[in-house]
A and B are shown apart, each in its own frame.
Chain A
Amino acid sequence: MSTPARAGLALAAAMLLGGCSSFSVPTVEPWVKPYERERLADPIMRFSRGALAERHAEHVRDVREGSRGATGVQGGGCGCN
């Protein structure tokens, strides 16, 4: 990374860290308030219906397919051969 780019990154970091008020960089306020989270808290919106069932499906796919990972399922172990 060249010196100007490094300086630019350091400045950006400093602006973020230093608090945006002193630089009049527009801050972004969270736009979904905690009292507006009812739909998201509903069980239908969960990514998994049961921890064990999800682990089982993930295990079957890990064994049968070449692609693995990034699913967020905490699995382990093997049935590899």
Chain B
Amino acid sequence: MAATRAALTLWRRLAALLGSLLGGVLAVGGAARAADLPEDSAEALLHVYTGGGVTAWGPAFLVRKSVADRFSITGSYYLDAVSNASIDVVTTASKYKESRHEYALSADYVYRDSQITIGVNTSREPDYTADRARIDISQEVFGGMTTVSLGFTRGADKVRKKDSPEFSDEARHWQYRLGVSQILTPRWIMSANVEAIADDGYLGSPYRAALVFGAAVPERNPRTRSARSLMLRVKGDLGSRDAMHASYRYYRDTWEIKGHTLELGYSRYFGDAWLADTYLRYHTQSAALFYSDNATSETVYVSRNRQLSPFDNASLGAKVAWTWRKVPGKYEVKVNGAYEYMHFKFKDFTDLRTGSRYAHGASILQLFVTGTF
């Protein structure tokens, strides 16, 4: 199968690169520079997403602790209570509620200039289980000005369908990451990240219907998908206790979706204890080859999944952080709030209730406390 062969090629290339880097890690002697072990920290978050008839909210917790000066262990729990009355659900079924629990555990190990992280993650819904295992290696080179990182994630999902015990399918995922972060000047840093994703198996939703000649049929997606993504980011200190960042991501996959994402942001300190960020984000994408709002021919694959349709998403966001207590070198506790308003404009998806092109707004709200020790 094309996806497996492509995955194997990438894996061989990455294994070779990994081997060389590891060899480099062991060979580099002399300089006792150490990459810093991540600080001990604890976070608690309340997250809310609401938009397009869907509300998902819940708490999340994270604890990170260093062990024996070399390892850092992180554990987190994330709950998503989803109340779904989205346009898909409302026009073809009735609204539903369900909860998703996600548990993650990872360990970081620092050796000289390198850091190795391994992690596992499991996400559980009544009808969908997703497991991930990952490894990331990062190495500081060139006097610490450049950091090269490699990562690999392997995922395995089990898909079920509520009230249909006979439906059972799987999906497998491979993600390969390569990143370079480069200090440009004492005030500017840039990074480039490349990711290749390969998916195999059941890649759709057993609840979603496509429209063919006006009639609802269960959607038919290809069983493989291969994607490439490149993100360039730059961040700079502007000199008067403020900073700006800009990023661009290009995405392309074998389903013929091409996406461009642009983000521009500005941050500023106010007084001793306040930090505010604001940003503009714009995302635009083209349709998947087999996407159709209302298919007028019989094709092997057909889908009316909005996520695969051509659309624009423009958003404006703001974040605020207040330092509650700070003892430099000992601990720091911050209280944060973040809000983002997104506006989705679909170019080829009809709102069946009104007959016009569908558009909706959405909001993300986050309230969280972070402590570093």
Contact = CB atoms under 8 A, between A and B. Distances in A.
Interface of A: 29-32, 34, 36-40, 42-45, 47, 49-53, 55-57, 60-61, 63-72, 74-81
Contact of B142 (A30, A36, A60): A30
B235 interface: yes
Given A65-B307, A67-B283, A52 B368 contact: yes
A59 to B, nearest CB: 8
Given A45-B237, A51-B43, A68 B207 contact: no
B249 A65 contact: no
B222 interface: no
B364 A50 contact: no
Interface string B162-197: 000000000000010101000101110101011101
B45 A72 contact: no
Main secondary structure on B side of the interface with A: strand
Interface stretch (B11-19, B117-125, B294-302, B349-357): B117-125
B369 to A, nearest CB: 9
B186 A55 contact: no
Main secondary structure on A side of the interface with B: loop
A49 B142 contact: no
B15 to A, nearest CB: 19
Interface string B106-142: 1000000000010101110101101010101000001
Given A30-B144, A45-B243, A53 B155 contact: no
A76 B156 CA distance: 11
Contacts of B197: 68-69
B249 A49 contact: no
A31, A32, A53, A55 — most chain B CB neighbours (10 Å) = A53
Given A40-B187, A66-B308, A50 B370 contact: yes
A57 B251 contact: no
Contact of A74 (B134, B187, B285, B321): B134
The 4 closest A-B pairs by CB, nearest first: A77-B123, A30-B143, A67-B259, A76-B121
A43, A61, A77 — most chain B CB neighbours (10 Å) = A77
